[in-house]
Amino acid sequence: MCGKMNNQICDTTQLTLRTAGVHPELNSSSAMICLTEFEKNLVDYHEIFNIMTIIMKENNGMGIAGVQVGFNKRCFIMNFNNMLRIFVNPTIVNASQQCNEYIEGCLSIKGYVRKTNRPAEIELEYYDEYCIYNKKIFTGLEAICIQHELDHLDGKLINDY
Ligand SMILES: [Zn+2]
Q: Is 104 a catalytic residue?
A: no
CA 140: distance to chain centroid? 17
pLDDT tens-digit readout, 87-127:
999 999 999 999 999 999 999 999 999 999 999 999 999 99
Tell how far the Cα of 55 is from the centroid of ligand 1, in angstroms.
13
In whole angstroms, give the CA distance from residue 161 to residue 102: 13
What is the per-residue pLDDT across 3-55, written as a single tens digit (0 to 9) for each? 455 788 999 999 999 999 899 999 999 999 999 999 999 999 999 999 999 99
Mean of pLDDT values over 73-90:
97
**Ligand 1 mean position, distance from CA 3 (Å):** 32
Domain edges within the chain: 12-160
Residue 81 CB neighbour total at 10 angstroms: 6
* Domain 12-160 belongs in CATH node 3.30.750.24: no
| Contact partners, residue 46, CB within 8 Å, separation at least 6 | 129
Q: What is the pLDDT of residue 1?
A: 46
**How far does residue 58's CA lie from ligand 1's centre (Å)?**
15
Between the two ends of the chain, the Cα-to-Cα distance in Å is 41
Read off the amino acid at residue 107. Answer: L
- Which of 39, 104, 123, 149 is labelled catalytic? 149
